Amino acid sequence: MILVIVDHDRGVLDPTSVQAISGALALDSEVDVLVVGAAGRDVVGELASFGANTVHLAVHDSVTDFTPVASARAALELISRVSPAAVLVTGTPRGNEVLAHIAAILDLPMAAECLEIALGNDGVHQVVRNRWGGNIMETARVHSTLLLAAFAPHAVRAESAVGTGTIAEFTPALSDADLAVRILDRVGEGATGVGLTEARVIVSGGRGVGGPEGFAILEELASLLDAAIGCSRVVTSNGWRPHSEQVGQTGTKVAPDLYIACGISGATQHIAGCRTSKTIIAINTDKDAPIMGYAHYAVIGDLHTILPELVAATRAAKE
């Protein structure tokens, strides 16, 4: 049996976390799922549609939002009871954090950024994983009786499957130290529009946009395409856009049907975040920019001239 830890945000399932369920089902027909927090009850039906059999729901009065060490402690309690062959997550920031706590407490190795996983019967497992921002793939052996591994986001496509979705609720034993790091409150502007992780189309801007005001035309195009806005690291570093929109190794890894990169040179860390897009269109004045080597279509020119024409053509096509 394989245990998969999935993530939800106050009862809304993280769409990338279920990818680990599909990855686990390719390794073992019996896959259980751990969900932490009472709001996880809202996602059980959805988890069953991805093949989850028993959904272990860890509920504690002090866990009302993301609490990483508490989630790890709940997982450890469950591991000792069900003895899985592996514990898998999708390597989102939250998924990686919880799995890293489990590995540290058990003093076991953790394999991150996995593209492929092969379980071994002798405690020696093989993984293929991204290294150096996805520029190379490493095949490695992991020596551990319990494999702790994180799939790279979008390395596995989430597939529908039939699971029983049986709920097994328990209250984990937690100490004050387990609750020391947790989300207490959320302030600021709420998220609007289409999120990066679930967006089928992303319009993304880089240094070439010129400044925060330059994103107005990108937002207009995104609105016409029902797309999300993305950006490069330099854009967030300059304060032009929020970090939540950053695509890259230190931002969000995406896999849309269409990724339109405007004025983005294509640094290694950015390519690591968007290279799994089905189609990449790059708009740049530099025909030798690194992103051109990954783009399916390249438009050589000034985005400030090209985008208004693209917006006009898109609007005309929708009328």
Name the β-bridge partners of 5: 34
Work out the percent of the chain whose per-residue pLDDT is above 70: 97
> What's phi and psi for 248, nearest 5 deg?
155, -175
Interval 131-168: pLDDT, tens = 876 678 899 999 999 999 999 988 898 999 988 889 99
Residue 275 structural domain:
201-318
Dihedral angle at the C-alpha atoms of 187, 193, 197, 199, nearest 10 degrees?
180
Q: Would you state the pLDDT for residue 185?
A: 84
- Averaged pLDDT, 52-61: 94
Q: What digits encode the pLDDT tens for the residues 65-78? A: 999 999 999 999 99
Closest CA to 267 of 152, 132, 151: 132
pLDDT at 318: 86
**Of 69, 62, 72, which is closest to residue 34 (Cα–Cα)?**
72
The mean-pLDDT minimum among 21-25, 156-160, 295-299, 300-304 falls in 156-160
Position 191 pLDDT exceeds 50? no
Q: Are 150 and 90 in contact (CB under 8 A)?
A: yes
Residue scoring higher pLDDT (189 or 281)? 281
d(CA 172, CA 174): 6
For the segment 273-279, the average pLDDT, to the nearest whole number, is 91
Contact status, residue 32 vs residue 54, Cβ threshold 8 Å: yes
Largest separation between any pair of C-alpha atoms in the chain: 63
The answer to whether position 71 is within a domain reads yes
Residue 83 token pair: 């003895």
Whole-prediction pTM value?
0.77
pLDDT in tens, 204-232: 999 999 999 999 999 999 999 999 999 99
CB-based burial, 18-34: b 16+ in 10 Å, e otherwise: bbbbbbbbebeeebbbb
43 lies in the same domain as 149 = yes
Residue 287 sits at φ, ψ, to 5 deg, of: -70, -15
Is 59 part of any domain?
A: yes
Domain total of the chain? 2
Chain-centroid distance, C-alpha 278: 16
Residues 173 and 218 in one domain: no
Query: What's the mean pLDDT in 288-307?
Result: 96
Q: Residue 170 sits in a domain of what CATH number?
A: 3.40.50.620
Beta pairing, strands 2-5 & 297-300: unpaired
Confidence check: pLDDT of 286 > 70: yes
Residue 275 in this model has a pLDDT that exceeds 80 = yes
Q: Which of 169, 159, 158, 148 is nearest to 44 (CA)?
A: 169
The reply to whether 50 falls in a domain is yes
Output Rg (C-alpha) for the chain, integer angstroms.
21
Neighbours of 9 (CB within 10 A): 14
Residue type, 114: C
β partners of residue 204: 230, 261
Judge if 9 and 140 occupy the same domain: yes
Per-residue tokens: 37 = 């927090």
Task: Give a yes or no: residue 193 inside a domain.
Answer: no
